[in-house]
Amino acid sequence: MPHAYPTALALLLVLATIGCGSDPGYEHTYTTRAIVLSLPGEKVTQEFIVHHEEIPDYVSINGSIGMNEMAMPIPVPDKSLLKGIAVGDKVELVFGERFEPQHKMGLISITKLSMDTELNLGETTMPTTHP
Ligand SMILES: [Cu+2]
């Protein structure tokens, strides 16, 4: 089998690519507008917290539809997504979620909105620490 080694190597590369692929297999993706309440910690916490608007098309694990406006942590798989984003910024963001084989949620993209954008965040008025 003179070609066994290159074949095995190619297979390994394919497996590595699948294993480390950036596609987390989200079942659902949602777009919402929000204000940024906190950014990921330097070391441990790989998530940030936003106060997002109502998400009418949200599907929960038990099948109920809709999510109220709320403050919610969203895991950040790649912190470079948050480059240029500060606490107090108004943003439009896309996050994904899946429930099988295990629960996973994560930020997919985020863009800054103009600071005079009116967000529907209910009664809660979050202090803006934006400089
Ligand atoms: Cu939420």
Distance (angstroms) between ligand 1 centre and the Cα of 58 equals: 9
Both tokens assigned to 65: 């539809």
Q: 32 phi and psi, to 5 degrees? A: -150, 165
| Predicted structure pTM score | 0.77
Distance (angstroms) between ligand 1 centre and the Cα of 117 equals: 20
Superfamily of domain 24-112: Copper binding periplasmic protein CusF (2.40.50.320)
Give the Cβ contact number of residue 80 at 10 Å: 6
Question: pLDDT tens digits, the chain, 131 residues: what are they?
Answer: 556 666 666 655 555 555 445 678 999 999 999 999 999 987 777 999 999 999 999 999 999 999 999 999 999 999 999 999 999 999 999 999 999 999 999 999 999 999 999 999 987 555 444 43
pLDDT tens figures, 4-39 = 666 666 655 555 555 445 678 999 999 999 999 999
Distance (angstroms) between ligand 1 centre and the Cα of 67 equals: 6
Instruction: Give the pLDDT of residue 14.
Output: 55
H runs (alpha helix) in the chain: 4-19
Q: 15 phi and psi, to 5 degrees? A: -65, -40
Distance (angstroms) between ligand 1 centre and the Cα of 53 equals: 8
**How many residues make up the chain in this entry?**
131
Both tokens assigned to 81: 């997504």
Looking at residue 54, what DSSP letter applies? P
Distance (angstroms) between ligand 1 centre and the Cα of 80 equals: 22
